[in-house]
Structure 1
Amino acid sequence: MLVNRRHLLAGAASLLATQARAEAPLTSIRPRARLSVNDPAARLIARANLSGSVGCVVADLATGEVREAIKPDAALPPASVTKAVTALYAIEALGAAHQFETRVIAAGPILDGVLDGDLILVGGGDPNLVTDQLADLAEQIKAAGLREVKGDFFVWDNALVNLDEIDNTQLDHVGYNPAVTGLNLNFNRVHFEWKREGAKYTTALDARSEKYRPAVTTARVSVVDRQSPVFTYQERDGVDDWTVARRALNNGGSRWLPVRRPALYAGEVFATFARSHGIVLKRPQELAELPQGRALAVWRSAPLDQMMRSMLRFSTNITAEAAGLSATAALTGTQRGLRTSALGMARWAGDRAGIQPHFVDHSGLGDESRVSAADMVSFLSADGAAATLRPLMKRIQMVDANRKVVRNHLGHVQAKTGTLNFVSSLAGYVRTSGGQDLAFAFFGADLEKREQGKRAGDESPAGARQWNRQAKALQQRLLQHWIKRGA
């Protein structure tokens, strides 16, 4: 029986709620007072004239002394700053050296290169598996001597609870909101390319990578005449069936579309490479229960700390969700659904840093998550957090009023950014021009405008880009102020 991808393990919430809470850290940063408008940071925020709410805190990393705090307890959406919490959660639960494994197993005897049984592509939850690595697995089964498969070809993706998408409030076609399963490919996106030829368009869908561009049939796109919406989606017999409005296409271009049945997508691509080696496989089928079998090929991901560094720098949502779900499974001994797993991560963060965040996922894509700047700085300042997270975070360049990089700036900032429409966040570590180390968090959001934009159904609602530019400019002014103030 195939897994229902919309079924989450709702009953697991009560089990997580019974877990014992660890002793909170001795130091918890809980600034309460709002500083006077005479404070430099307050003046910078007032001058920015940013609609909505802004909360920020900066504290000495060594002593915990709060240098400045504006609305420190305002609970706002952290957006992708959530990934900083997820990175530490996953590394501490799974270990920095943890690797995800993708295998090909033979369920039956092999005699003279002929498998008298089924071949199974087995996902281990790797969120970063790409087409080139499926090509490597196909080469491995050829090198193992396999020439023919008499049985069926299956894919198994139940190493993680299957999610159709991360956040169901997002538009169907955005590539950063893909499915998440135990068998993922190309960040669960398919490449859609179009070209105008006279009055018609030709379209193509492929699983492209650095080396290959295998065509796929597990997704299809039709160009139709209509005003709106730009895209529609429907699943038909295991195929992602998209339509796109003709008016939205120029003469030629491309974009990535999310994949909702990634295991079948991966299976089709793997079968393409197997066929190139003379091994013809039947159409892939999903398998609920994994039988015993002999491993013919194995692909191991990069170590988890390297994966988390890439996630923090490129903000890949699927990486965060797979890592967070895997961490929760490791800590509890069983798989959890997304909301339950996010609850578990919030409780873990509370135990570790004496804080009270609310998470609905591990990536920050869902805007119902809430964290205050005070809680985020407490988390970043907790024992051992900076030693693990700081080297993984992206360096934030200082820029001038014209957004040009300031060369040889005396300060050094390593942080995680977060952006949604009308939501902007930044949190991490600052080394001041005087050599002091600070932890900081900035959360800004205009939730009323965000809701208006969501109701409009626009990928980039009116005013969102300008608002986010203003927020990032304010972040820069605050960072440069903190760097100078610490001289």
Structure 2
Amino acid sequence: MTGTPASPNPSTSVTDTISQITSKPLYTHSTWGYEVSDLATGEALLSQTNDTMFVTGSILKAYSTVAALAVYTPDYRFQTPVYGIGAIQDGVLTGNLVLVASGDFSFGLRDQADGTLAFNSLPEVDHNYADTGLPGPVLLKDSDPLAALNQLAAQVQAAGIREVQGDVIIDDRLFETFDGWPDGSIAPIWVNENVLDITVTPAGQQVTVDWRPQTAAYSVRAGDIRIVPAGGETQLNAELVQSGVVQISGQIAADANPLQIWQIPNPADFARTAFIEALARAGITVSAIATGANPTNLLPPAATYSETQKLAEHTSPPLSEFTKVILKVSYNRAADLMVCLVAVQNGDRDCPAGIAPVITTITQLGVSQNSTFMFDGAGSDERDRTTSTDMTTFLRAVAQQPYGAAFREGLPILGVDGTLATNQKDSPAAGKVQAKTGSRIHGTPDDRFLITGLTHVGYIEAESGRQLVSAVMLRDVPLASLDELFTADGDLGALEVAVQQGL
């Protein structure tokens, strides 16, 4: 094994406990790497294979969210305005209504009255994971996918508009919509985070299908769905079978009520339809047909909008709330969005161009370009790599930055919330470990699974009162079933408990 010797020597009880965890038969063919350092001094207290690169999984989101916080600041708010382009007389806009997308991924869906964004914590899984096979995805409680559009429509009506004799257009020129990363399309406009949430409910030998948001853009129907006995396996798949029609097929257990998602391939077209319908609900007539392609050819030149043309605007909660959602639920496409927004701030409209300035930011925070490699913003690319030393160095430096508190407050808390809510819930360390989690797992042709990366990185408030930074990484773990993933993740949590209690 490689690594920097830890000093001073930790107590025997801590090292013994860690040895018991890492030497379990499950890890006979696996590799562990970790580093625990003093937050204030940087002194390495525990380390093993700490200079070796590991597959990151979602801990890479720490890099992309910090870069966004650094260039935009935690207090930044997304402003999504609506402009009337044309003459307005007696409540009639003769011209076009334009909604200018800002990259607000919540866009009302997660917005709370107290200025925060809502998120699910395990065992409830975020709806964006409803197509991954993970158990427990549910809709966010009391959420409204069309909230921001309804608010904007009401503002347009309050501005005196009752009719639009023209078209409605989504200006999505903030950056080029990009679909080259593993988790799907990243666009400047987000309505219901650009997915349809589909719920399938067995009823005897039939199923009922419901979905949201319901618009004229898409309907959802049941295809060939086989109902299997209660407790059986549920496997469903949604696909576009004809223009505007999504079909869900597969099999469902008689006692299941699963959530499935389908990613919308044309976010601007979808948002346009949904906005025209919101305007209708607000009593505003639009002469254009609600469905169809977003007519970007009718857009005015970029950056020519004036305040006098503004009819409405949606203002988001602060960016710190968005990065919190990304980190707490491990939201892949939103982490990719942060890279796109970094590119925009760097004067580029191509999402991949955001990777270089992210690397520049984290390099300035002590990360080595020789041992950290980034191919997306979410950690979903199997080529993403970092080391535990890079992570602890980075975490120490982040803590000294103006955005450091916002980043730390966004991390999942062991035994309390986010992806760590059920991990070590009843341990004495619950509530005292804040860490981003990551995992990369692959099914095999013979129905087994292989963990290529399982990771936790973050901050620990030790029982002694000492403040620590920690990075724990594991790779190449064979699993007989997906349930063993949670066993292994629990072992990473148990290692953090040993550190929290013993240092």
> Shared topology, TM-score over 0.5?
yes
2:65 is matched with 87
State whether structure 2 residue 26 is matched by structure 1 residue 49: yes
Show CA shifts across 1:416-453 (max 9, x none): 11233223211001111111111111122228x6xxxx
Query: Deviation of residue 102 (structure 1)?
Result: 1.6
Show CA shifts across 1:328-351 (max 9, x none): 221x2122233x323431233123
Name the count of aligned residue pairs.
Answer: 422
2:285 is matched with 280
The 3 A distance-change label for structure 1 pair 193 and 269 is same
2:410 is matched with 392
Report the 3-state secondary structure (helix = DSSP H, G, I; strand = E; otherwise coil) of the residue aligned with 2:147.
Answer: helix
Show CA shifts across 1:368-411 (max 9, x none): 21111111111111262554422332221299xx9663366498
After the TM superposition, which of the residue ranges 133-142 and 185-194 deviates more from structure 2?
A: 185-194
1:405 is matched with 425
CA–CA separation in structure 2 for the residues paired with 1:404 and 1:430: 14
CA–CA separation in structure 2 for the residues paired with 1:420 and 1:474: 16
CA–CA separation in structure 1 for the residues paired with 2:431 and 2:190: 40
**Kept after mapping to 1: 8 A contact 2:235/2:252:** no
Map 1:81-480 onto structure 2 (within 5 A).
81-129=59-107, 130=109, 131-164=146-179, 166-167=181-182, 177-196=183-202, 200-207=206-213, 214-218=214-218, 220-224=220-224, 230-231=236-237, 233-234=239-240, 239=244, 241-248=245-252, 250=254, 253-255=257-259, 256-281=261-286, 282-283=289-290, 285-288=293-296, 290-291=299-300, 292-293=304-305, 294-330=309-345, 332-338=346-352, 340-356=353-369, 357-382=372-397, 384-385=400-401, 386-397=404-415, 405-406=425-426, 409=429, 412-421=432-441, 422=451, 423-446=453-476, 463-466=481-484, 468-480=485-497
CA–CA separation in structure 2 for the residues paired with 1:61 and 1:302: 30
Unaligned residue ranges in structure 2 (runs of 5+):
110-145, 228-233, 442-450
The 3 A distance-change label for structure 1 pair 104 and 165 is farther
Q: For 1:151, give the aligned amino acid.
A: G
The 3 A distance-change label for structure 1 pair 428 and 195 is closer
The 3 A distance-change label for structure 1 pair 250 and 154 is farther
After the TM superposition, which of the residue ranges 244-253 and 303-312 deviates more from structure 2?
A: 244-253
1:9 is matched with none
Provide TM-score, normalisation by structure 2: 0.75
CA–CA separation in structure 2 for the residues paired with 1:444 and 1:81: 12
CA–CA separation in structure 1 for the residues paired with 2:148 and 2:495: 43
**Kept after mapping to 1: 8 A contact 2:174/2:344:** no
The 3 A distance-change label for structure 1 pair 59 and 92 is same
Q: For 1:417, give the aligned amino acid.
A: T
Cα-Cα RMSD: 3.2
Q: For 1:105, give the aligned amino acid.
A: Y
CA–CA separation in structure 2 for the residues paired with 1:411 and 1:198: 44
Show CA shifts across 1:158-204 (max 9, x none): 2122124741xxxxxxxxx4422010111222121334566554433
Report the 3-state secondary structure (helix = DSSP H, G, I; strand = E; otherwise coil) of the residue aligned with 1:107.
Answer: strand
**Kept after mapping to 2: 8 A contact 1:411/1:483:** no
Q: Percent identity?
A: 22
The 3 A distance-change label for structure 1 pair 395 and 478 is same
The 3 A distance-change label for structure 1 pair 216 and 206 is farther
Q: For 1:271, give the aligned amino acid.
A: I
Query: Deviation of residue 84 (structure 1)?
Result: 1.7
Report the 3-state secondary structure (helix = DSSP H, G, I; strand = E; otherwise coil) of the residue aligned with 2:374.
Answer: coil
CA–CA separation in structure 1 for the residues paired with 2:191 and 2:314: 13
Query: Deviation of residue 295 (structure 1)?
Result: 1.7
Q: For 2:273, give the aligned amino acid.
A: E
The 3 A distance-change label for structure 1 pair 462 and 380 is same
CA–CA separation in structure 2 for the residues paired with 1:398 and 1:63: 28
Query: Deviation of residue 225 (structure 1)?
Result: 6.5
2:119 is matched with none
Unaligned residue ranges in structure 1 (runs of 5+):
1-29, 168-176, 208-213, 450-460
**Kept after mapping to 2: 8 A contact 1:410/1:432:** no
CA–CA separation in structure 2 for the residues paired with 1:403 and 1:309: 19
